[in-house]
Amino acid sequence: MARRKLTGLRVLVTGASQGIGRALVVEAARRGAKVLAVARSAELLSQLVGEVRAANGIIETVPADITKPEDRQAMVDAAVRHFGGLDVLINNAGIGATGHFMESDPAVLRSIFETNVFGLTETTRVFLPLLKLGVTPAIVNISSVVGKRALPARSLYSASKFAVAGFSESLRAELAKDGIDVVVVSPGLTQTNFSQNMLEQKAKMQLDHLRGMTSEQVAIATLRALEKGSPDVTLTLKGIMLVIANRLFPWFVDWKAKKTVRQLFAEEMAERKKAQVEVK
């Protein structure tokens, strides 16, 4: 994994209009990168352009949906038109949902995979020819702590992020011959609008995102990992502790997760047990 400075590098960020993506654009431009910001909202991208250029940053935008082949090609065309190529691809765009699998709509899982997995992998595919010609090229995939250890009521989102992790590990080896680094960053709780934008929110076990890292802190940690050439970074102390505990004592993490679910559904379990007795 190569060390690199962002000054002068051509960087594309997906999901750039809000949260971590927006913070990545602002911070990368502040460090001297030429940034191509991609998101579905042209209005929010326009606001981002004003902020970055007011700080003398270099930015261009592409209103695009990474799940659409024609939009992915538009991103490639824009990178060539504005910057003559690409050095760093940051796959940040993502959606989520909470709730128990049995109660979820199958269409929700397909929508999550369409963005988090297929959108990410196919965006990577179309940019590989440009990245092979780039300067200290790299792909950064924004994953999640639940892509390392799944939590109850996050099965759909976790499954998509586990897929990202597996794809990234394989790709890292495959692209070594081309000099392209693959960096995976797994944030924990982050103070963004991500929870408000979820496709479904049915979890009884709520997580307090306001106690997590800020988007700016995640962006700084991500770009630091890119600059240092760190292949895999897990963020937040709780996130790191969860991953370590799961590696050393997976049985304990399983027991704790099951206990939490049983406590949340204690009343439902009691009613079901009562019904079973009455049937007998």
Q: Which of 83, 157, 162, 167 is catalytic?
A: 157
Residues 6+ apart with CB under 8 A from 55: 26, 29, 30
* Neighbour count for residue 50 (Cβ, 10 Å): 11
Radius of gyration from C-alpha coordinates of the chain = 20
Intra-chain end-to-end CA distance of the chain, in Å: 64
| DSSP labels, 195-221 | GGG-S-B--SS---GGGSEEHHHHHHH
Per the annotation, the verdict on 157 as an active-site residue is yes
d(CA 82, CA 85): 8
Burial of 111 (0-12, 13-18, 19+ CB in 10 A): middle
How far, CA to CA in Å, does 179 sit from each of 22, 25, 176, 203, 265? 28, 24, 5, 42, 51
| DSSP labels, 189-200 | SEESSTGGG-S-
* Neighbour count for residue 250 (Cβ, 10 Å): 11
Catalytic residues: 157
